[in-house]
Amino acid sequence: MNDNYSYLVVDADTREACAIDPADPERAVDAARRCGAKLTTVLTTHKHHDHAGGNARVRAMMALEENGSVDVEVYGHAMDKCHGTTREVKDGDVVRVGARLRFLVIHVPCHTLGHVVYALLGDEREDGADGPTLANAKAMFTGDAIINGGVGAFFHGNANDCYENLHVRLAPTPDDCLIFSGHEYMETNLRFAKAIDVDDQITANCFFAIRLHRHQDAGTMPSSLRVERRLNPYFRCRDRDYLKTLLASKRRLLNRKKRPWWHRYCGPNKQALEVQRDRKVDTCALANIIDANGRGGHGEASREEAVEGIRFLRGLMGDVMETSDVRFGDDAENKAFREYVQIARATGTTHVVVSELVSAA
């Protein structure tokens, strides 16, 4: 589990702590000990072993007298039957830890049926103006629902579910809410985002900044919803101009693919193949929906357009993987990255914060 993230959140007043997805139980318990905190709670985002596999072990370790004989409560959604769960949660529940920590549960089915995110709310006020709503979220632990710069695989959902999660259920969350996801995939995700929007300089700058962070063996957490809404393709599908960019990228990527070897003998020539590929883009579902809306103009996409855009993104992944190295980058990217590093070192900007790049745009 080299790319997994687990988190420890400590109540400053009582020193009670909760662990989110402690897949490595020994490290979670040790981290709490080193913080001078008592681990009393585990919050599980979903059932997969690399997130829930350490739950029972955490309970067993904390039950030992040397660890304070703590009866740890493990929270998870009923639909996922997470390993080691002692308390089931549902959408809208609030889990309290210590005197001040409040986590609002939001059910976001798609990666799994019982996937939830936990929104850490601000301090309570006596006038009740800070009720348990996403408008008061300061940080969010998203598991695999949002993986910085992307989303998790649709194992138990589809594009419509993804749309509901990002653009309906989580829509009230403020831009400055911090995002702590379950995996370190931001470099790969932004490489994909850059590949499908080659003219977006903001995405390119943020990608190179993230790649430099990873080159220095630094993590990329946290992100923020402002960053995700600007860089993450699954959020950007609400922008009609972005959907048109995806269509243009599909056309470009198809024409970059090599002709099958047998085309030399019985297939269409290069020009005819390009015509076929252009027709494939022009008649795809996303293009048809946009055309049906009179090309739609600019601004916010309709729900139908955005859902089809999310579905379209899944196909674009395959096109990008066929035409470039999504893990390590191609020669052109590596050359551009070396130039970026030289400039960053010369200007003393090797530790650029991505949120600042997005905010300054």
List, for residues 125-143, the tens digit of each pLDDT value.
Answer: 666 656 789 999 999 999 9
The residue with greater pLDDT, 217 or 150, is 150
Please indicate whether residue 351 is annotated as part of the active site: no
* Range name among 85-94, 124-133, 319-328, 334-343 with the lowest pLDDT average: 124-133
Which whole number is the average pLDDT over 184-188?
93
Tell me what percent of the residues of the chain surpass a pLDDT of 90.
Answer: 65
Confidence label for 116 from pLDDT (cuts 50, 70 and 90):
very high
Please check whether residue 111 is in contact with residue 77, taking contact to mean a CB–CB distance below 8 angstroms: no
List, for residues 215-259, the tens digit of each pLDDT value.
Answer: 888 888 999 999 999 999 999 999 999 999 999 999 888 877 665
CA distances from 43 to 96, 118, 224, 283, 294 (A): 11, 8, 20, 46, 47
The angle subtended at Cα 180 by Cα 176 and Cα 182, nearest 5°, is 155
* 3-state secondary structure at position 14: coil
* In the chain, where the domains are located: 7-184, 240-329
| Nearest residue to 356 via CA among 206, 217, 232 | 206
Angle between helical axes of 240-256 and 285-292 (0-180°, round to 10):
150
CA distances from 104 to 89, 101, 120, 140, 223 (A): 10, 10, 7, 9, 19
The pLDDT value given to residue 237: 96
Catalytic residue among 107, 115, 167, 183: 183
Q: Which string of b and e fits 337-347 if b means at least 16 CB within 10 Å?
A: beebeeebeee
The pLDDT value given to residue 10: 98
The pLDDT value given to residue 358: 79
CA distances from 301 to 110, 153, 221, 240, 296 (A): 22, 23, 30, 5, 8
Please indicate whether residue 46 is annotated as part of the active site: yes
The pLDDT value given to residue 275: 62
The pLDDT value given to residue 323: 79
Q: Which of 120-129, 158-167, 290-299, 348-357 has the highest mean pLDDT?
A: 158-167
The pLDDT value given to residue 272: 62
Which whole number is the average pLDDT over 69-79?
96
The 10 Å Cβ neighbour count of residue 199 is 9
Catalytic residue among 144, 161, 200, 319: 144
The pLDDT value given to residue 321: 86
Catalytic residue among 107, 111, 115, 167: 111
The pLDDT value given to residue 154: 97
Please indicate whether residue 263 is annotated as part of the active site: no
The CATH code that applies to domain 7-184 is 3.60.15.10
CA distances from 287 to 295, 304, 320 (A): 9, 12, 19
Say how far apart CA 149 and CA 234 lie, in whole Å. 8
Q: Is the dihedral of CA 320, 321, 323, 327 positive or negative?
A: positive
Catalytic residue among 11, 21, 24, 48: 48
The overall average pLDDT reported for the chain is 89
Please indicate whether residue 298 is annotated as part of the active site: no
The pLDDT value given to residue 127: 60
* Range name among 101-110, 322-331, 351-360 with the lowest pLDDT average: 351-360
What one-letter code names the amino acid at 184? E
Q: Indicate whether 262 pLDDT > 60.
A: no
The residue with greater pLDDT, 91 or 345, is 91
**For residue 335, which phi and psi values (nearest 5 degrees)?**
-65, -45
Q: Is the dihedral of CA 342, 344, 350, 354 positive or negative?
A: negative
Confidence label for 74 from pLDDT (cuts 50, 70 and 90):
very high
Q: Indicate whether 314 pLDDT > 60.
A: yes
Catalytic residue among 11, 21, 24, 46: 46
The pLDDT value given to residue 296: 56
The pLDDT value given to residue 278: 67
| Nearest residue to 233 via CA among 208, 196, 206, 202 | 196
Q: Indicate whether 351 pLDDT > 70.
A: yes
Please indicate whether residue 183 is annotated as part of the active site: yes
The residue with tokens 């194992």 is: 155
Confidence label for 324 from pLDDT (cuts 50, 70 and 90):
confident
* Range name among 35-44, 108-117, 119-128, 316-325 with the lowest pLDDT average: 119-128
